[in-house]
């Protein structure tokens, strides 16, 4: 995750940045960097954004070259989903969001490893 996305998320969690700004920043990073292998880090936020208001961002053409421009659609992000967006932002910032490797949260991975150690210790 880029430092600019991290700053926006930290500002949102602290109450200094609005949800609309976070939506645009996260969507631009998620859709603009499709090939960098880091999209899964932002997936919890994209999930909330899609649930809250599908189509909250729109794509536009870029005249200066290939690609597209991401901009906020005319409607605001629904306030009913701001708490969920904040929880997803906190999860992403603390590293508790879903990852591509196994989709296991770190706190659950500890329990899984303990179970495997008990299983292997009992059979030895």
Query: Distance between CA 121 and CA 61 in Å, rounded?
Result: 59
Mean of pLDDT over the chain: 77
Residue 26's CB is within 10 A of a number of other CB atoms, namely: 27
End-to-end CA distance of the chain: 42
Q: What pLDDT does residue 122 have?
A: 60
Half-sphere exposure of 37 (CA within 13 A, CB side): 1
DSSP state of 36: S
Q: What pLDDT does residue 100 have?
A: 41
Give yes or no for residue 6 having a pLDDT over 60: yes
Long-range CB contacts for residues 58-66, cutoff 8 Å, separation at least 24: 59/31
In the chain, how long is the greatest CA-to-CA distance? 66
Q: What pLDDT does residue 101 have?
A: 36
Half-sphere exposure of 70 (CA within 13 A, CB side): 17
Taking residues 26-35, what's their average pLDDT? 76
pTM here?
0.64
Q: Which residue has the tokens 């495997």?
A: 116
């Amino acid at each position: 995750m880029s430092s600019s996305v991290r700053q926006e998320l930290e500002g949102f969690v602290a109450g200094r940045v609005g949800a609309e700004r976070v939506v645009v920043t996260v969507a631009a990073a998620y859709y603009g960097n499709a090939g960098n292998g880091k999209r899964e880090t932002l997936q919890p936020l994209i999930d909330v954004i899609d649930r809250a208001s599908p189509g909250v961002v729109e794509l536009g053409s870029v005249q200066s070259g290939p690609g597209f421009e991401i901009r906020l659609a005319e409607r605001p992000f629904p306030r009913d989903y701001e708490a969920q967006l904040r929880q997803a932002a906190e999860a992403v910032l603390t590293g508790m969001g879903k990852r591509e490797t196994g989709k296991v949260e770190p706190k659950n991975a500890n329990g899984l490893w303990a179970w495997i150690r008990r299983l292997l210790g009992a059979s030895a």
